[in-house]
């Protein structure tokens, strides 16, 4: 249903552009300027859609080459290497935000042994990169990493919701909510007493 609505709105926009270009061309012809309509049409199309195809190509490449969940150490292995520690983990939930180039990091101490670092950085063509690392504080090594991408285009329902207007509100064709995953995955419940990540489905640490 959403796909049909997307196509309908896109077709409507295209028809409005054609109509506007046709009327502009007719008016220009009466003023002695022939062929202006096609240049109006081309100019509007380039203005609206110049970054759509580059975004699609870049987004597809990033999803295929970088996105996904990687488990470097399974919970069972961690427990064997740290006997008796699993049962002592207690939720602390301390947060810190650090600004970096093109984005920021959210550092969240989950308990006495695990730290979650979430990097949010901006790529080209409105693409946002999210990298979530789960780190063993004692060894300072990653036990899990999750990378995903989306675009910072608000959904069309935000239009008129009281937010400051931005042309991006109308660029719904650029909307991406996340890379498709070969396997569904979840992060679990922020590393509490009984577990520190969900390993029902995950990628091996060696990306194929």
pLDDT tens figures, 77-92: 888 898 988 788 888 7
pLDDT of residue 61: 94
Residue with tokens 């489905």: 201
Pairing of strands 114-122, 103-109: antiparallel
3 state DSSP class of 14: helix
Least confident range from 36-40, 62-66, 118-122, 138-142: namely 36-40
Element (H, E) at 132: strand 127-136
Mean pLDDT of the chain: 75
Summarize the confidence of residues 13-25 as an average pLDDT: 75
127-148 tens-digit pLDDT: 999 999 999 999 999 998 989 9
């Amino acid at each position: 249903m959403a796909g049909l609505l997307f196509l309908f709105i896109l077709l409507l926009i295209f028809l409005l552009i054609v109509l506007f270009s046709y009327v502009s061309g007719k008016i220009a012809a009466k003023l002695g300027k022939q062929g202006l309509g096609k240049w109006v049409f081309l100019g509007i199309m380039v203005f609206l859609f110049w970054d759509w195809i580059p975004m699609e190509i870049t987004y597809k490449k990033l999803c295929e080459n970088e996105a996904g969940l990687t488990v470097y150490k399974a919970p069972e292995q961690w427990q064997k290497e740290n006997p008796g520690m699993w049962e002592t983990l207690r939720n602390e939930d301390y947060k810190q935000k650090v600004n970096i180039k093109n984005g920021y990091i959210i550092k969240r101490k989950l308990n006495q042994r695990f730290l979650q670092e979430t990097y949010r950085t901006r790529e080209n063509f409105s693409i946002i990169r999210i990298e979530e690392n789960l780190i063993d504080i004692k060894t300072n090594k990653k036990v899990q990493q999750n990378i995903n991408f989306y675009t910072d285009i608000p959904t069309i329902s935000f239009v008129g919701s009281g937010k400051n207007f931005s042309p991006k509100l109308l660029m719904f064709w650029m909307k991406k909510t996340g890379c498709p995953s070969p396997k569904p995955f979840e992060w679990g419940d922020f590393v509490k007493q009984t577990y520190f990540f969900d390993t029902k489905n995950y990628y091996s640490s060696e990306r194929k």
